[in-house]
Amino acid sequence: MRGPHNFWRLVRTGATFERTGAMHVVLEAMNAPPRLRFAARIMGWPFRFLGLKGDPDLPPLVRALTALGPAYIKFGQTLATRPDVVGPDLAEQLRYLQDKLPPFPRAQAMQVIAEDLEAPVDSIFTDLSEPVAAASIAQVHSACLVSTGAKVAVKVLRPGVERAFRTDIDAFYFAAGMIERLLPSTRRLRPLDVIAHFESVVEGELDLRLESASAAEFGANTKNDAGFSVPQPVWAYSSRRVMTLDWAEGVPLGDNAALDALGLDRRELGVRILSLFLRHALRDGFFHGDMHQGNLKVTATGEIIALDFGIMGRIDAYSRRAYAEILFGFIRKDYRRVAEVHFEAGYVPADRDIDEFARALRSVGEPIFGMDAQHISMARLLAYLFEVTERFGMETRTELILLQRTMVVVEGVARSLHPEINMWHVAKPVVEEYIRDHIGPQAVARDLIMTAKIMSRFGPRLPRLVEDALIAQAHIDKPAPPARRYGPLVWALFGAGFMGLGVALGAFL
């Protein structure tokens, strides 16, 4: 599917932007130089008639993205959280993409529910409403369970959305491959790997069984987080294309007027959402990867409710430590340590000069921290850092793409609540707490104990390992130097001793 025919899709994308007027909007938002604007118009105008028309009642960029399909809508949802990048007016227009897209008919949703749950809809739900929210991949209805009378949210995939997403992703793969071939300097950015990462995220979002599992895990991790809650899935009535969740009542986090009417402190809400995101990423290694305003509600008492668990991020323990140390180094302006972490983690090639890299990082950090709160931006920091890492041959880390993107989105959400929130002031206590608990003598002792516990699980296999080592030694025809000849036996006995220690420590702990 990833053949040259995808070139047509890319041409159609540019033509759609030109036909809807979105090209001019994008160039204005980028503050593109006159030459680039002129070139874009000259190249786009001949193909204008090939573009999709879209809904003429919508603003140009929203019109283009909705016409092009779900993958493009996802991109627009991210931009909606960045008024500092695209401007407040354009960000407000793009919020339409978060939960106000045209719904599909209720009758189609009922057909999907009946097919997937293998039962008549009225035997499971009563009062199934018209759609209460519609996004790029699914829409939500309210209903009550026949069995208990409890109010629930019923999420149903859009018919044909799986095929539409795969069509877009094919075109993205084609574009990434062309970029790698035509611009070899971009290979360090691993565009094909980036698209593969995006594809894996989307595949998870298109199977609502996985989303139900994510909601359950996320709820278990965060059950003790004050001022935060996660609706839990009703497993009996959830499937690949249908997900049933506890109903969550609240106002959208992006509705500042409604929040003010409830008398809630918007600055405190912004600080809390930033702190919670960082805590989930660092403490749990499992975080909500799509935390825009459309996926967050606030109750009358100020509790934040997370919704839509199709995109979740996971980070291993080592990457969390590296990420925390990088953030902590920037916060403390310890650029040498930030550079060391990049080298230790293998993010920067070992043959580069660490002192020069530290100096380059200082050139990134100092201008950022010299700004007032309204101009300090995670997006700007990542942009500057991208320029530096390009010079030092740093490859794209696909495992951190979602984390970095979500941090930018969450910062945008917090800024929409209160423009003067300082990301770094909020991050400092959270990162310090993580550093204190996970880096230092206590953390080393805990890691050793964990290693011993894992080694102890191999206890039942020790006799066979030792026997195999002895048999292997008996079949060696040619004598070898002592260290080499008895190596397998020595290592087997050493392993046995270490595993025995692990068993003792495991039992003691």
Residue 255 bears catalytic tag:
no
How, if at all, do strands 242-246 and 151-157 pair?
A: antiparallel
Helix axes 266-279, 398-417, angle to 10 degrees: 170
Q: Which residue has the tokens 């931009």?
A: 79
Distance from first CA to last CA of the chain, Å, rounded? Answer: 55
Instruction: From 34, 17, 28, 21, select the one nearest 87 (Cα to Cα).
Output: 28
Helix (H) or strand (E) holding 509: none
CB-based contacts of 50, cutoff 8 Å, min separation 6? 11, 12, 15
Contact 144, 126 (CB under 8 A): yes
CB-based contacts of 47, cutoff 8 Å, min separation 6? 11, 14, 15, 18
CA dist 211 and 387 (Å) reads 36
Instruction: From 78, 29, 30, 71, select the one nearest 407 (Cα to Cα).
Output: 78
Strands (E), 351-468: none
Q: Which of 116, 168, 290, 308 is catalytic?
A: 290
CA-based torsion, 319, 325, 328, 334: positive or negative: negative
Annotated catalytic residues are: 290
